[in-house]
Amino acid sequence: MTPKPLRRFIALSHALGWMEDASLPFLQATLGPAAIQTSEEAICIDASLDAKTLEIALEQAAIKMRDAGWITGWRKERYTVFANDAAGSLDLGQPLFTLERAAFRRFGLTSRAVHINGYTTKGELWIAQRASNKAIDPDKLDNLAAGGISAGENIWDCVIRELAEEAGIPAQLASQAVSSGSLRTTRSEADGWHDEIIYTYDLQLPDDFVPKNTDGEVAGFQRCSFEQIEAILPRMTLDAAVVTQAFLAQQTRR
């Protein structure tokens, strides 16, 4: 259930996200009030606007939000906004435009990410601790590697990249990661509406392998037995905790 005061954000004839009323003036300042229709349920952009015009307007609105302190952690990295399919999920065959990743929550747009569980034959999971300078969830515990899928990047390439950057895992070992499905997390956050599809992977690591961060986004790693994980779940990011619980549930069914 979506909490108030969010309203459905509709553009290009697609229900793309959820917006807070407080974000509306930033969009009106770039598109003009005449191009935006509002009701109790929705904020609708004039359907005659093309994707490029909308992309530029959202980018300008996001910059204004950034300058006003409403968006932090500007990454200079873009995510793709996709149309929805009939089931309400993303239609990956219909990309609409791209936008700075830090702006996605302000418009409630659906992002995509990968999370990789690293485990050993001894029944242990490698848990990462996020760096203290991370814009989102600093110092929180996380999966072995996780990260957003950039515009133009496919899921598998993101898996290999994140394992290399965050855990120092060479491509030959990273290529042994196995897909374990996907899940979707939605929630209200201080910087807007979080909506993300997470593609989950499991990677068995040699017992003597020790992950090593290479991009400065991870402060360190710890290896925990499956039994110890329950105690540290409250210290994990919400997304990592969900991914970890799904992994442990799979283990009990085997």
Query: Mean pLDDT for the chain?
Result: 95
Residues 96 and 124 in one domain: no
Residues 239 and 121 in one domain: yes
Q: Does any domain span residue 152?
A: yes
How many Å apart are CA 113 and CA 146, to the nearest integer?
7
Output the pTM of the full model: 0.94
73-to-26, 42, 65, 79, 213 alpha-carbon distances in Å: 18, 28, 12, 15, 20
Residues of the chain with pLDDT under 50: 1-3
Looking at residue 87, what is its pLDDT? 86
Query: In the listed set 105, 128, 144, which residue is the last one of a domain according to the structure?
Result: 105
155-179 in b/e burial notation, b at 16+ Cβ within 10 A?
A: eeebbbbbbbbbbbbeeebbeebee
Which tens digit of pLDDT belongs to each residue from 161-191?
999 999 999 999 999 999 999 999 999 999 9
Which tens digit of pLDDT belongs to each residue from 55-81?
999 999 999 999 999 999 999 999 999
Which residue range is the domain that position 207 belongs to?
Answer: 112-253
**CATH number for position 67:** 3.30.750.160
Given 3-state DSSP classes, what are the helix, strand and coil percentages for the chain, each rounded to the nearest 5? 30, 35, 30
Q: Does any domain span residue 1?
A: no
Longest distance between any two alpha carbons in the chain, whole Å: 63
Q: What is the DSSP string of 18-61?
A: EEEGGGHHHHHHHH-GGGEEE-SSEEEE-TTS-HHHHHHHHHHH
